[in-house]
Every structure is written in structure tokens, then in C-alpha cells.
Structure 1
Amino acid sequence: MALEIERKFLIDINKLEELQNGYEIKQGYIQTKDETVVRVRIKGNGAFVTIKGGNVGATRLEYEYSVPVEDANEMLEKFCTKPIIHKTRYLILHKKHTWEIDVFHEENEGLIVAEVELESEDETVELPEWILKEVTEDARYYNSNLLENPYSQWG
């Protein structure tokens, strides 16, 4: 069984050194009838289809498969709910963990979040000084929810 255990945080971008070596991510979601999420993502030169179950705290089932970039582009165009999520991801090593900093663009411009993947929900993670607030269980910050309720409309 494949599990994703991930915590998500808002950050103070001004406390970070200049972000470098980011890569673009373009992703969309294929509509489902339950809490299952089907994501199509192009990340750098690779493409993936990911199936995720509903969250239970910071944990959920996750299965990810590589697909040809051409197929992913077609799926984004023909199957995914619009708008497509565009963001730049930066990786930062802090203590024992790699943090993913996502800087969103277009409809979600201004949103910046940090995510850290864990081996277990009770794993201790030392938070960097640039962490402001945990939003792991706030569904507004789920990428799939940013389609219907983009950050630019939160007012």
C-alpha cells in the first residue's frame, strides 16, 4: 500500500534566501465522484498520473505512474477541469528533511506554501524559522480545491 504523509505550511518568503533552481509544474485534475483525486502533472521533462485517496489527518493513499509527456498534455487539455494549476517548485534541505516550496502563478498568484513528506504522522520535524502556520488540514490549500476556489478570490 502506498501512503503519502505530508504536512503543509504557509511561509514568510522574506526569511528565506533567494530561491534557486526551481522547476515548473503544470497540473490538472480529472473529476471524480468521491474524495479520490486523479491528478495529471507535467514536472520538468517528466509526466505523471497520480491517484490519491481522501485525507485522514496528514495521510492518504497515493499511487503515481509515469506517462509520456505528450499523453499528459493531451489529458490536461481534454480531461482536466480548468483552470490548470501552474507553479514553480523549489527544494530546500533543512535538517533531515527536504522541503518543497511551491510558488503559485496565474489564478493562484501570491500563494506560497511549503510541504514536507514524512515517514509517519508522529515523525518529529524541526520547523525552519520561515514557517508561519500549519495548514495541513485546511482543505482550501489542497491543489485540487484551488481550481474552484483560487487564492486570488479569497479576498
Structure 2
Amino acid sequence: MKQQEIERKFLVKGDGWRGLGKTELFRQGYIARTQDRTVRVRVAGEKGRLTIKYRGEGIARSEFEYEIPLDEAQALLDGLAPGEIIEKLRHTFTCEGSVWEVDEFLGANQGLVVAEIELESEDQPFVRPEWLGDEVSRISRYLNVELSRLPYTAWSREEKDDHGNG
């Protein structure tokens, strides 16, 4: 199914979001990537998904996502090097009238917590919860595809502290 994805991404501060909504373990990796597109395989709970994303204008991207058999998704992930697989707990809930996804990264990206909101347009207004930190939507190192190449635990202190100028 094709859709345009307009997603804003923020660092998370504090624990005001904890305990809201549902939590699911995600394992994902990239079986193909170029400068402007990626092919991702993901296992979320008992479902496998294959996603193709093309970079668009600004933070908008075209996205094609398909459910695939769980055993095939796991086999595709098993073909990747362990360091290329991203594991995270995704917490999904509604806050201030908007659906939020807070990703709490595990493994090589331990310590990174980001919140995402999908919007109809880049300038769509929304209420910022008190636990929302700096916006990192346009900083490429926070993209999951980049975290699979250079994990958060390998970043320098300057990279971790530089949120607005990436």
C-alpha cells in the first residue's frame, strides 16, 4: 500500500510518557539502501513487514508497506549481520489528541529514545507534550537506516549533544 509519510521526530526528555498505550518489540534491518531509498524488513510482534521508502521533499517520503509471512521476515533478518539489526520497544499512545510513537532503542542504540508523530502536512499544528525534547526530523543520523550503520553508542559526545545543527 502506497502512502506519503510526513513524520516529525523528537528526542524525549523525562518519563512522562511511560505507561501510556501499548508496547511492542520491533526487530528490523535494511536489505537494500541507497541515498534516496531503502528496503526494510521488520518483525513486530507476530507480524512481518517489508517496507520500501523513497525520499521526497523536506521530511515527506513515499512509502510502500506489505505484510509478509513471519518466517520469511525472520529469515531475511537472519541474513543480516547482527550489528545491522535494530531492536527497539515501540510505545504507541494518544496524547493531547495526537497519536505518538515513542521508540526506546535497545542493543547498540541503547540510551536513545525518540518520539514520532505522523502529520498530514509538515506545518500541521499539534500540542507538544511536556516530555517532548529537541526536534531531530532533519538530522539524518537519527534515521533508523543510519542507526543501523552507525549506532548511537558509537556516537561522540558532540554528536549526542548536537541536536539542532545536523
TM-score (norm. length: structure 2): 0.86
Deviations along 1:30-66, one digit per CA (max 9) or x if unpaired, are 1234421100001111110000012422201000000
1:74 aligned partner: 75
Secondary structure of 1:144's match?
helix
SS in 2 for 1:152: helix
What is residue 48 of structure 2 aligned with on the other side? 47
RMSD over equivalenced CA pairs, Å = 1.8
Q: Which amino acid aligns with 1:113?
A: V
What SS class does the counterpart of residue 15 from structure 1 fall into? Answer: coil
Give aligned-pair identity as a percent: 39
Aligned length in residues: 155
Matched residue of 1:53: which SS? strand
CA contact (8 A) 1:9 1:135 kept: yes
Query: Does residue 110 of structure 2 align to residue 112 of structure 1?
Result: no
1:4 aligns with 2:2: no
Greater Cα offset, 122-131 or 17-26 = 17-26
Query: Alpha-carbon deviation of 1:126?
Result: 1.1
Counterpart residue identity of residue 103, structure 1: E
Aligned equivalents of 2:66, 2:21: Cα separation in 1: 27
- Counterpart-to-counterpart distance in 2, 1:154 and 1:86: 17
Q: Which amino acid aligns with 2:136?
A: V
Output the CA distance in 2 between the equivalents of 1:78 and 1:26: 13
Q: Taking structure 1 as the reference length, what is the TM-score of the superposition?
A: 0.92
In 2, the alpha carbon distance for the partners of 1:48 and 1:54 equals 19
1:36 aligns with 2:42: no
**Separation in 2, partners of 1:33, 1:136:** 19
Aligned to 1:63: 64
